[in-house]
Protein backbone atom coordinates (compact mmCIF):
# COMPACT_ATOMS: atom_id res chain seq x y z
CA UNK A 1 0.00 0.00 0.00
CA UNK A 2 2.85 2.35 0.88
CA UNK A 3 4.45 1.70 -2.53
CA UNK A 4 1.17 2.56 -4.27
CA UNK A 5 0.89 5.81 -2.33
CA UNK A 6 4.46 6.75 -3.17
CA UNK A 7 3.84 6.00 -6.85
CA UNK A 8 0.69 8.13 -6.86
CA UNK A 9 2.55 10.96 -5.15
CA UNK A 10 5.31 10.86 -7.77
CA UNK A 11 2.73 10.90 -10.56
CA UNK A 12 1.12 13.94 -8.95
CA UNK A 13 4.44 15.80 -8.79
CA UNK A 14 5.23 14.97 -12.40
CA UNK A 15 1.76 16.11 -13.50
CA UNK A 16 2.15 19.36 -11.55
CA UNK A 17 5.44 19.98 -13.33
CA UNK A 18 4.15 18.98 -16.77
CA UNK A 19 0.92 21.00 -16.90
CA UNK A 20 2.60 24.45 -16.65
CA UNK A 21 5.08 23.35 -19.32
CA UNK A 22 2.28 22.25 -21.62
CA UNK A 23 0.47 25.54 -21.06
CA UNK A 24 3.66 27.50 -21.77
CA UNK A 25 4.41 25.52 -24.94
CA UNK A 26 0.85 26.00 -26.17
CA UNK A 27 1.05 29.74 -25.49
CA UNK A 28 4.34 29.98 -27.39
CA UNK A 29 2.83 28.21 -30.38
CA UNK A 30 -0.25 30.46 -30.39
CA UNK A 31 1.83 33.65 -30.09
CA UNK A 32 4.28 32.65 -32.83
CA UNK A 33 1.44 31.64 -35.16
CA UNK A 34 -0.24 35.01 -34.66
CA UNK A 35 3.04 36.88 -35.04
CA UNK A 36 3.82 35.17 -38.34
CA UNK A 37 0.26 35.69 -39.56
CA UNK A 38 0.38 39.39 -38.69
CA UNK A 39 3.74 39.79 -40.39
CA UNK A 40 2.43 38.10 -43.53
CA UNK A 41 -0.77 40.17 -43.47
CA UNK A 42 1.09 43.49 -43.27
CA UNK A 43 3.80 42.40 -45.69
CA UNK A 44 1.23 41.35 -48.28
CA UNK A 45 -0.57 44.68 -47.86
CA UNK A 46 2.64 46.64 -48.43
CA UNK A 47 3.61 44.55 -51.45
CA UNK A 48 0.15 45.02 -52.96
CA UNK A 49 0.30 48.77 -52.32
CA UNK A 50 3.68 49.00 -54.05
CA UNK A 51 2.24 47.18 -57.06
CA UNK A 52 -0.55 49.75 -57.23
CA UNK A 53 1.36 52.92 -56.26
CA UNK A 54 5.04 52.21 -56.91
CA UNK A 55 7.82 51.86 -54.35
CA UNK A 56 7.20 53.51 -51.02
CA UNK A 57 9.66 56.35 -51.64
CA UNK A 58 6.98 57.71 -54.01
CA UNK A 59 4.08 57.34 -51.60
CA UNK A 60 2.03 60.31 -50.44
CA UNK A 61 3.58 60.81 -47.00
CA UNK A 62 3.96 64.46 -46.04
CA UNK A 63 5.84 63.58 -42.88
CA UNK A 64 8.93 62.31 -44.68
CA UNK A 65 11.94 64.35 -43.64
CA UNK A 66 10.38 66.26 -40.75
CA UNK A 67 11.81 66.24 -37.25
CA UNK A 68 8.91 65.39 -34.90
CA UNK A 69 10.96 66.42 -31.86
CA UNK A 70 11.33 70.11 -32.68
CA UNK A 71 7.70 71.22 -32.47
CA UNK A 72 4.17 70.06 -31.79
CA UNK A 73 3.31 71.11 -35.34
CA UNK A 74 5.88 68.70 -36.76
CA UNK A 75 4.73 65.93 -34.47
CA UNK A 76 1.11 66.40 -35.56
CA UNK A 77 2.24 66.41 -39.21
CA UNK A 78 4.16 63.16 -38.72
CA UNK A 79 1.22 61.46 -36.99
CA UNK A 80 -1.29 62.73 -39.57
CA UNK A 81 0.94 61.34 -42.29
CA UNK A 82 1.05 57.98 -40.51
CA UNK A 83 -2.76 57.91 -40.45
CA UNK A 84 -3.15 58.85 -44.13
CA UNK A 85 -0.55 56.23 -45.04
CA UNK A 86 -2.41 53.50 -43.15
CA UNK A 87 -5.74 54.51 -44.67
CA UNK A 88 -4.41 54.54 -48.25
CA UNK A 89 -1.75 51.83 -48.31
CA UNK A 90 -2.76 49.28 -45.66
CA UNK A 91 -6.48 49.19 -44.87
CA UNK A 92 -7.73 48.57 -48.45
CA UNK A 93 -5.63 45.38 -48.57
CA UNK A 94 -6.83 43.85 -45.29
CA UNK A 95 -9.59 41.31 -44.77
CA UNK A 96 -12.78 42.85 -43.41
CA UNK A 97 -13.46 42.78 -39.69
CA UNK A 98 -10.66 45.07 -38.50
CA UNK A 99 -11.07 48.16 -36.32
CA UNK A 100 -8.96 51.27 -36.91
CA UNK A 101 -8.78 54.29 -34.63
CA UNK A 102 -6.87 57.17 -36.31
CA UNK A 103 -7.14 59.51 -33.34
CA UNK A 104 -4.68 59.88 -30.47
CA UNK A 105 -7.51 60.52 -28.04
CA UNK A 106 -7.36 57.31 -26.02
CA UNK A 107 -5.20 56.46 -23.06
CA UNK A 108 -3.93 52.92 -22.64
CA UNK A 109 -6.15 52.55 -19.59
CA UNK A 110 -9.20 53.46 -21.72
CA UNK A 111 -8.57 50.40 -23.89
CA UNK A 112 -8.97 47.83 -21.09
CA UNK A 113 -5.22 47.57 -20.47
CA UNK A 114 -4.37 47.05 -16.81
CA UNK A 115 -0.60 47.54 -17.09
CA UNK A 116 1.96 49.58 -18.99
CA UNK A 117 3.50 48.24 -22.21
CA UNK A 118 6.99 47.32 -21.07
CA UNK A 119 10.50 46.78 -22.34
CA UNK A 120 12.28 43.66 -21.09
CA UNK A 121 14.01 45.85 -18.54
CA UNK A 122 10.65 46.76 -17.02
CA UNK A 123 10.72 50.39 -18.14
CA UNK A 124 7.54 51.52 -19.93
CA UNK A 125 7.19 51.93 -23.68
CA UNK A 126 3.66 53.26 -23.23
CA UNK A 127 2.27 53.97 -19.78
CA UNK A 128 -1.36 53.52 -18.74
CA UNK A 129 -1.81 57.27 -18.49
CA UNK A 130 -0.33 57.98 -21.95
CA UNK A 131 -2.31 58.73 -25.07
CA UNK A 132 -1.73 55.88 -27.49
CA UNK A 133 -0.82 56.39 -31.16
CA UNK A 134 -3.21 55.35 -33.97
CA UNK A 135 -4.04 51.67 -33.62
CA UNK A 136 -5.47 48.82 -35.64
CA UNK A 137 -7.21 45.73 -34.26
CA UNK A 138 -7.16 42.81 -36.68
CA UNK A 139 -10.04 40.36 -36.85
CA UNK A 140 -8.06 37.75 -34.85
CA UNK A 141 -7.68 40.15 -31.90
CA UNK A 142 -4.10 41.29 -32.61
CA UNK A 143 -3.50 44.96 -31.82
CA UNK A 144 -1.05 47.12 -33.81
CA UNK A 145 0.05 50.55 -32.58
CA UNK A 146 1.49 52.77 -35.36
CA UNK A 147 4.00 55.58 -35.06
CA UNK A 148 6.61 57.28 -37.23
CA UNK A 149 10.11 55.83 -37.57
CA UNK A 150 12.99 58.29 -37.33
CA UNK A 151 16.65 58.24 -38.36
CA UNK A 152 19.41 60.59 -37.32
CA UNK A 153 22.56 60.94 -35.28
CA UNK A 154 26.18 60.54 -36.33
CA UNK A 155 27.11 59.01 -39.67
CA UNK A 156 30.24 56.98 -40.49
CA UNK A 157 32.18 60.19 -41.26
CA UNK A 158 31.34 61.70 -37.89
CA UNK A 159 28.79 64.16 -39.23
CA UNK A 160 25.72 64.85 -37.12
CA UNK A 161 22.29 64.63 -38.75
CA UNK A 162 19.04 65.80 -37.10
CA UNK A 163 16.39 63.16 -36.62
CA UNK A 164 13.90 62.86 -39.45
CA UNK A 165 10.81 60.74 -40.06
CA UNK A 166 11.37 58.11 -42.77
CA UNK A 167 8.94 55.27 -42.14
CA UNK A 168 6.40 53.44 -40.00
CA UNK A 169 7.04 51.83 -36.63
CA UNK A 170 4.58 49.12 -35.64
CA UNK A 171 4.16 47.73 -32.14
CA UNK A 172 2.30 44.43 -32.46
CA UNK A 173 0.50 43.20 -29.34
CA UNK A 174 -0.43 39.59 -30.04
CA UNK A 175 -3.13 39.29 -27.38
CA UNK A 176 -4.20 42.91 -26.92
CA UNK A 177 -4.93 44.11 -23.38
CA UNK A 178 -4.19 40.72 -21.82
CA UNK A 179 -0.91 40.38 -19.88
CA UNK A 180 2.06 40.21 -19.80
CA UNK A 181 2.25 43.25 -22.17
CA UNK A 182 6.01 42.88 -22.42
CA UNK A 183 8.32 43.24 -25.40
CA UNK A 184 9.45 39.83 -26.58
CA UNK A 185 6.60 38.00 -24.86
CA UNK A 186 3.36 39.20 -26.41
CA UNK A 187 4.65 42.43 -28.02
CA UNK A 188 6.92 42.60 -31.08
CA UNK A 189 8.29 45.44 -33.22
CA UNK A 190 8.08 45.78 -37.02
CA UNK A 191 9.46 48.49 -39.33
CA UNK A 192 8.50 49.78 -42.77
CA UNK A 193 10.66 52.38 -44.53
CA UNK A 194 9.87 54.95 -47.21
CA UNK A 195 12.64 54.02 -49.62
CA UNK A 196 13.09 52.55 -53.09
CA UNK A 197 14.24 49.24 -51.57
CA UNK A 198 11.72 49.11 -48.76
CA UNK A 199 10.18 46.02 -47.24
CA UNK A 200 8.46 45.11 -44.00
CA UNK A 201 10.92 43.74 -41.45
CA UNK A 202 10.89 42.58 -37.88
CA UNK A 203 12.79 45.25 -35.93
CA UNK A 204 16.53 44.78 -36.44
CA UNK A 205 19.49 47.15 -37.00
CA UNK A 206 19.51 48.98 -40.35
CA UNK A 207 21.15 52.09 -41.74
CA UNK A 208 19.84 54.65 -44.20
CA UNK A 209 21.64 56.74 -46.80
CA UNK A 210 20.04 60.13 -46.28
CA UNK A 211 21.06 61.22 -49.76
CA UNK A 212 19.57 58.33 -51.74
CA UNK A 213 17.08 57.21 -49.06
CA UNK A 214 18.20 53.62 -49.56
CA UNK A 215 18.18 51.20 -46.63
CA UNK A 216 21.05 48.88 -45.78
CA UNK A 217 19.65 45.75 -44.13
CA UNK A 218 22.37 44.49 -41.82
CA UNK A 219 23.04 40.78 -41.35
CA UNK A 220 22.84 40.83 -37.56
CA UNK A 221 24.13 37.66 -35.95
CA UNK A 222 21.82 35.39 -33.99
CA UNK A 223 23.96 35.99 -30.91
CA UNK A 224 23.38 39.76 -31.12
CA UNK A 225 19.64 39.29 -31.69
CA UNK A 226 19.47 36.97 -28.69
CA UNK A 227 21.42 39.39 -26.48
CA UNK A 228 19.07 42.27 -27.33
CA UNK A 229 16.08 40.00 -26.81
CA UNK A 230 17.29 39.26 -23.28
CA UNK A 231 17.85 42.90 -22.36
CA UNK A 232 15.66 45.25 -24.40
CA UNK A 233 13.39 42.91 -26.34
CA UNK A 234 13.20 44.97 -29.52
CA UNK A 235 14.80 42.28 -31.70
CA UNK A 236 12.93 39.29 -30.28
CA UNK A 237 10.66 39.09 -33.31
CA UNK A 238 13.65 39.06 -35.65
CA UNK A 239 15.14 36.24 -33.57
CA UNK A 240 11.95 34.18 -33.83
CA UNK A 241 11.82 34.79 -37.58
CA UNK A 242 15.50 33.88 -37.99
CA UNK A 243 14.87 30.63 -36.11
CA UNK A 244 12.21 29.62 -38.63
CA UNK A 245 9.21 31.09 -36.79
CA UNK A 246 9.79 29.14 -33.62
CA UNK A 247 10.81 29.84 -30.03
CA UNK A 248 13.94 27.82 -29.30
CA UNK A 249 15.07 26.58 -25.90
CA UNK A 250 17.48 29.49 -25.30
CA UNK A 251 14.82 32.11 -26.03
CA UNK A 252 14.27 34.23 -22.89
CA UNK A 253 10.61 33.36 -22.40
DSSP string, the chain: -HHHHHHHHHHHHHHHHHHHHHHHHHHHHHHHHHHHHHHHHHHHHHHHHHHHH-SGGGS--TTTT--TTS-HHHHHHHHHHHHHHHHHHTGGGSPS--EEE--S--BGGGGT--S-EE-TTS-EEE-TTSBP--EEE-TTS-EEEEEEEEEEEE-TTS-EEEEEEEEEEEEEETTTTSTT-BBTTTEEEEEEE-STT---EES--EEEETTTTEEEE----HHHHHHHHHHT-TTHHHHHHHTTS---TTS--
The pLDDT of 93-105, averaged and rounded, is 95
Predicted confidence band at 6 (pLDDT cuts at 50, 70, 90)?
low
pLDDT in tens, 128-187: 999 999 999 999 999 999 998 887 766 666 777 677 777 899 999 999 999 999 999 999
Q: Which of 15-24, 192-201, 220-229 has the lowest mean pLDDT?
A: 15-24
Identify the pLDDT of residue 62: 76
Q: pTM of the predicted model, to two decimals?
A: 0.87
Average pLDDT of the chain is 88
When pLDDT is cut at 50, 70 and 90, the band that residue 208 belongs to is confident
pLDDT classification of 189: cutoffs 50, 70, 90: very high
Percent of the chain predicted with pLDDT > 70: 89
Cα–Cα dist 160/162, whole Å? 7
What pLDDT does residue 155 have? 60
Half-sphere exposure of 91 (CA within 13 A, CB side): 18
State how far the Cα of 9 lies from the Cα of 149, in Å rounded to an integer: 56
Res 191 pLDDT > 90: yes
Question: What is the band of 213 on the pLDDT scale with cuts at 50, 70, 90?
Answer: confident
pLDDT for res 240: 98
CA distance 140 to 148: 25
* Mean pLDDT value across residues 101-114: 95
pLDDT tens per residue across span 55-75? 888 887 777 777 888 888 888
Res 42 pLDDT > 70: yes
Amino acid sequence: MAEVLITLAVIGVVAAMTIPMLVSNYQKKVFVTRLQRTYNTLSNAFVSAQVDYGDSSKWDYEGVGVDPTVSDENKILAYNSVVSCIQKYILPYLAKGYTFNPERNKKLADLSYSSDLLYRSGSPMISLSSNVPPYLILNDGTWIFFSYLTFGGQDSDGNEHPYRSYGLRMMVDINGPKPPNTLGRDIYMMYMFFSANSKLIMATPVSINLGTLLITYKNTSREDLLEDCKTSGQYCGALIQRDGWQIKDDYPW
